[in-house]
Structure 1
Amino acid sequence: MMPKLTITRQALKRAVGASSMSLAALALTAAPVLAQGANAQLNIPQNPTMFGTNDPNVRRATAIINGEIVTGTDVEQRLALIVSANGGKIDAEEKERLRMQVLRNLIDETLQIQEAKAADVPASDEQVEATYERVATQNFGQSPQAMEAYLARIGSSSASLKRQIRGELAWQNLLRRNVQPFVNVSEGEVQEMLQRLQASKGTDEYRIGEIFLAATDVNKAQVFANAEKIVEQLKQGGSFVAYARQYSEASTAAVGGDLGWIRLAQLPSELATAAGTMAPGQLAGPVEIRGGFSILYLIDKRQVLTADPRDALLSLKQISIEFPKGTTNDQATKRAAEFAATVKAIKGCGDAEAQAGKIGATVVANDQIKARDLPGALQETLLNLPVGQTTPPFGSIEEGVRVLMLCGRDDPQVASGPSFDEMMAQIEDDRVNKRAQTYLRDLRRDAVIEYN
């Protein structure tokens, strides 16, 4: 059995990787600005005088939520997961902001676990262990035992990750019990959405990630400054998904800020204008919208119900050579030139192994590579390449030089769009998400929280 074809680590870093989401858009949920009516009800003066002092920079690290303690260790171990996801490139000031956000998340998580237990729908130990094992193998490519060692090495623990899993599963159980049964979607609504989708065939559709930060007239400047800091961290290589999960106040925070596939008309005009000028992989923002600020990340772009060439399945052979440790630039250049000449003489995929063997090159094959999963530069090159031809050589002294040879291509079929049941499920999910946000806000309002 042939090993899988691989692409260099540097090349993959330039590719956009994200789990698949529903085709329908998740609506933007912005917290409303404090309205004049609400201000009148609260009787807040326009120029309040503060009696006593309260230093906003002095924060307490632990809390007791309805009698249940969140310790400083809980906070630090969860913070370690975020720092690791961002490659450790977080300065002290940003880490402190993250620490307070982690505490807020742990408080929400505790409230969710408590509410699920009170409703007699807690996440079972079996559910948690099965999900932990799946996360270890699918997301990290490790056994649960190796995953435990990895977490300890970065300053976290399996207990911390399992608690996060327990909170998410408990919340899902609770929503299925107390929210989902009361969400109704009519057949007419589904048919109308499907008709709109067909009418928009061929128009551009965008898959966007969003971090939404709520703001009022009082704290607008501070929130904007925080948003700018987040953008700077993201530009330095921070994980958009990790920051969205920790900072975003939209209902999509739980899925890393992913709004799914949407059309610009579904966005507020300010965001639509920004998104329309973006290329996949670009950031935009902070953009001021009603209720706060949004940071956008364009994950991908396509045309509605139109076959996308990037969905083509490619059959590839990777031909590569490695350079021994200590190879000089001159030696590498000479070896690379010999490699390029040999590759140029290969007569199709059937001749690859024989020619590669003459110069000690390695050939690896994979016939199930989707073009869109490759880095952008390679996508364009391979989609315009005749069968049997190769890309220009690429690589480095550290990782060697390689080419990709196109051995076959299965073009995608025209997308038929979501089925009736799929569209209904998407609309239901959107409404459940909106009600879930209200549910959690009510839990926060009624909670007894003591800070230590």
Structure 2
Amino acid sequence: MKTKFCITTLCKSAALALALFATQVPERAAAQSLFEAVITVNDAPITRFELEQRTRMLQLLRAPGDPRKLAREQLIEDRLKLQAARRDGIEVSEEEVQAGMDRFASQGGLTGEELAQRFEGAGVSEESFRAFIRAGVTWAELTRAKFGPRVSVTEEDIDRAREAIGRGGGVEVLMSEIIIPYTPQTQEQVEETARRIAEVTSESAFSAEARRYSATRTKGNGGRLPWTPISDLPPALQGIVLSLAPGDVTDPLPLEGAIALFQLRDIRETEVPEPTYAAIEYAAYYIAGGRSKAAIARAQRIEADTDTCDDLYGIAQGQPESVLERGSKAPGEIPQDIAYELSKLDPGEVSYALTRANGETLVLLMLCGRSETIEDEEPVVTAEDETTADSEAGEQQALSLSETERLSRQIGDQRLNSYAQGYLAELKADARIVEK
């Protein structure tokens, strides 16, 4: 069985380190500073170099939250996971680590080697990437060996899951938003402002911050959004929002050229089933000038002159092809900032809250349409399938087995993850963690 893992909240050499970080200090002093222990976990050191590397990697991966805080948490957990695996005699091979790198990189359409090269070019050593993967693969092997025998899924469990699905219904959330754009010159200041806003505990205070800083159309309304089906949100944001209690604010979420924060105001169940989308079609028209008055005024004129995505071809006529992009993608393939803006739109509506090129280009987004998943679609039957079953009965049996396997796997994974999280909490509670 293949090992899987991901970044959680949560979701990838010494010589290189010196070359990257020791440019303006004596070599010996730099090495001492970089490789001194800043945290110990049961006497095992975590160095400043490791913390800086993991922080940089999380920034490149656009992991939600404060990247330095998340890097610290991950590295502490990595030490605990590897220590526990060592006690149980579990050690993964270099081949398994390489396979894990490939699986992780495949989420972005790359090989492990290609992603490692991209990390290297951005200041993250291959060994740091490999260490990240090694901890995840080792933990997956450990938890499967330790708790796998305890996980069983009965027919009653699957029947209850089917019944829950059959009842339909869905979840809607009532949120407020703040999206703060930045340029390279203002990024540090915006990140500091976002961390402060993340500590807000009241709806009125969050709304006041939205009126002051947010670049979205909801700014004048204190960032308040209407009831929204959870399935309309980007996949990565759904889990984050569902982990909040009413009144809670997310950690700052990095987008391209902006920082986003969300406050959950309320949540409710509905009797209307949530739609699931196979693809979302949208268009992006790029306007020079970033968030300047002239660029925003042009976006407003385009909004007034267009009703559908096809109308944008007329707007872009005579300009370079690169100013207009249009396509259809699965929800998980759409960049998170674009996916979030699209979640607020109906077909034909536009948004111009986002920028590209370090804030120098304004993005006018228009939703063209959403294609819902067809649950009753007949499965593809190969010639090999047809030799082992009658047509209608065989197709129904194949569909039934597929659904049963899928539900069984989902239930089993949830239970295994529950055991793993409980075990990690025990390891943390018993650990000696010292910050230098």
Q: What's the TM-score, normalizing by structure 1?
A: 0.48
Q: What's the TM-score, normalizing by structure 2?
A: 0.50
